[in-house]
């Protein structure tokens, strides 16, 4: 495997983190679209939540197609190239964003749903291709930490999306223009990201010489599928309905532009846990230093949430102190134990996306569905194909 850059893994990690951020941002934009289209098209709750059904239904169908095509023992994306797949996912996402433009001119809800389905397919391809890169560009000991760090920036995107998207859709623009112009800009950003990824040297995941077993034979994976089914379904159900819920007169009677701040705080909580997890899973830091850094990071994350909330014209500072208590309680869930990387016999990357998508699709039946950055899984046999010298604290 060639070295990523002379500066170690910092530059490729920056590129990969930008992908995680962008798909997290666009995924939670759906939580803003749900109440907007419910009112614009006079939809029922079930009809408005077709937004999530189509978006995450694409995840499910695309992931299942990838899963069944990999049962022969060959990785279809590996034959094509993971980097090419990431670029292809970005370009497909850009095309999907452009489809919002004709749908907005025709005021077609079905046209918007088609665009969301294509966007979900693009994100499926992007996530399957991007997660292995994060795992292999550094040491096996740092893989969990790097994956959590990437997911933390994914959550930063989900935290900012309600404020930026809510301002654009509920305040800055009116009618279908509120969809047309933002998604045209998003399309341009995806094209720029595709060019950036294409120009960045990234190592291809190693080809496995031996035949792969069926990962579903592992009881722990089957139980994990059930767990993530419930977790993702609940997590995104809340995100999709919180604005409409807070609008109810018998609840808080908030206007949409105020309710969006609560949605941002909700996703901000996930961001806090992932940043703390990225630090806690860093095996290279001594325990004593770790115990000093966790409280400091917790307080800084609270300040970040406070600044983001105030920028969006949200809650008064005096109402935010419970978040600080919850953040420190979250910090207490981490201790100084360092889990050792463990290779697994099956090819878990072939199965990670369908796992989360089961939950997303089912959540629609309860009221909705999950965020763009679901938990990635380490590649098996990664420790055999690492850079001899990794640089930076997340190596």
pLDDT at 212: 57
d(CA 89, CA 94): 9
Q: Are 179 and 104 in contact (CB under 8 A)?
A: yes
User: Does residue 192 sit within a domain?
Assistant: yes
Beta bridge partners of 346: 213
CA–CA distances in Å: residue 252 to residues 146, 163, 190, 262, 312:
40, 19, 37, 12, 18
Residue 90 has pLDDT above 90, yes or no: yes
d(CA 128, CA 368): 23
Q: pLDDT tens, 270-281?
A: 788 777 877 777
Q: Are 53 and 43 in contact (CB under 8 A)?
A: no
Which tokens sit at 286? 């001594």
With CA atoms as reference, report the closest residue to 204 among 85, 113, 38, 297. 85
**Where in the sequence is the domain holding 182, given as residue range(s)?**
10-376
Q: Is 61 exposed, middle or buried (0-12, 13-18, 19+ CB in 10 A)?
A: middle
Residue 42 has pLDDT above 50, yes or no: yes
Q: Are 194 and 94 in contact (CB under 8 A)?
A: yes
User: Does residue 20 sit within a domain?
Assistant: yes
Q: What is the torsion angle, in degrees rounded to the nearest 10, for the CA atoms of residue 157, residue 163, residue 165 and residue 170? A: 170
Displacement of CA 62 from its chain's centroid (Å): 16
User: Does residue 4 sit within a domain?
Assistant: no
Q: Are 270 and 235 in contact (CB under 8 A)?
A: yes
User: Does residue 77 sit within a domain?
Assistant: yes
The residue whose two tokens read 């009116």 is 174
User: Does residue 381 sit within a domain?
Assistant: no
Number of folded domains that form the chain: 1
Domain containing residue 175: CATH number: 1.20.1250.20
pLDDT at 122: 92
User: Does residue 172 sit within a domain?
Assistant: yes
Task: Count Cα atoms within 13 angstroms, Cβ side, for 22.
Answer: 28
Instruction: Please indicate, yes or no, whether the overall pTM of this predicted structure exceeds 0.75.
Output: no
Displacement of CA 53 from its chain's centroid (Å): 17
User: Does residue 357 sit within a domain?
Assistant: yes
Q: Is 293 exposed, middle or buried (0-12, 13-18, 19+ CB in 10 A)?
A: middle
d(CA 384, CA 69): 26
Backbone angles phi, psi at 282, to 5 degrees: -80, 105
> Could you please report the per-residue DSSP string of 202-232?
-PPPPPP-SPPB-GGG-HHHHHHHHHHHHHH
User: Does residue 124 sit within a domain?
Assistant: yes
Q: pLDDT tens, 298-314?
A: 888 888 888 877 776 66
pLDDT at 213: 62
Q: pLDDT tens, 186-200?
A: 999 999 999 998 888
> Could you please report the per-residue DSSP string of 112-174?
HHHHHHHHHHHHHHHHHHHHHHHHHSS-STTHHHHHHHHHHHHHHHHHHHHHHHHIIIIII--
Residue 366 has pLDDT above 50, yes or no: no
SS3 category, 307: helix
């Amino acid at each position: 495997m060639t070295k990523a850059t002379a500066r170690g893994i910092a530059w490729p990690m920056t590129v990969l983190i930008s992908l995680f951020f962008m798909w997290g941002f666009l995924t939670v934009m759906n939580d803003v679209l749900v109440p907007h289209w419910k009112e614009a098209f006079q939809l029922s709750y079930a009809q408005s939540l077709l937004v999530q059904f189509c978006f995450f239904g694409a995840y499910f169908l695309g992931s299942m197609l990838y899963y069944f095509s990999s049962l022969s023992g060959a990785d279809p994306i590996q034959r094509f190239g993971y980097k090419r797949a990431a670029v292809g996912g970005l370009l497909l996402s850009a095309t999907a964003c452009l489809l919002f433009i004709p749908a907005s001119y025709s005021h077609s809800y079905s046209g918007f749903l088609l665009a969301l389905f294509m966007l979900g397919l693009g994100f499926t391809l992007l996530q399957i291709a991007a997660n292995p890169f994060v795992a292999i560009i550094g040491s096996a000991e740092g893989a969990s930490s790097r994956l959590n760090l990437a997911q933390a920036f994914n959550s930063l995107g989900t935290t900012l999306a309600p404020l930026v998207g809510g301002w654009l859709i509920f305040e800055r623009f009116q009618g279908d223009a509120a969809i047309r112009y933002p998604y045209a800009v998003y399309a341009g950003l995806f094209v720029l990201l595709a060019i950036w990824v294409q120009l960045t040297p990234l190592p291809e995941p190693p080809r496995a010489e031996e035949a792969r077993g069926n990962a579903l034979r592992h009881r722990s994976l089957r139980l994990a599928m059930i767990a993530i089914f419930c977790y993702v379904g609940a997590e995104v159900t809340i995100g999709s309905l919180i604005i409409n819920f807070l609008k109810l007169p018998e609840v808080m009677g908030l206007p949409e532009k105020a309710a969006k701040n609560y949605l941002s705080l909700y996703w901000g909580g996930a961001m806090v846990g992932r940043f703390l997890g990225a630090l806690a899973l860093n095996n290279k830091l001594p325990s004593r230093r770790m115990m000093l850094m966790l409280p400091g990071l917790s307080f800084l994350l609270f300040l970040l949430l406070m600044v983001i909330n105030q920028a969006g014209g949200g809650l008064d500072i005096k109402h935010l102190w419970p978040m600080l208590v919850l953040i420190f309680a979250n910090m207490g869930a981490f201790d100084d134990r360092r889990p050792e990387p463990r290779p697994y016999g099956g090819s878990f990357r072939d199965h990670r996306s369908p796992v989360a998508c089961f939950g997303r699709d089912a959540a629609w039946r309860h009221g909705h569905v999950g965020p763009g950055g679901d938990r990635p899984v380490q590649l098996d046999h990664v420790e055999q194909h690492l850079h001899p010298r990794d640089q930076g604290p997340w190596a």
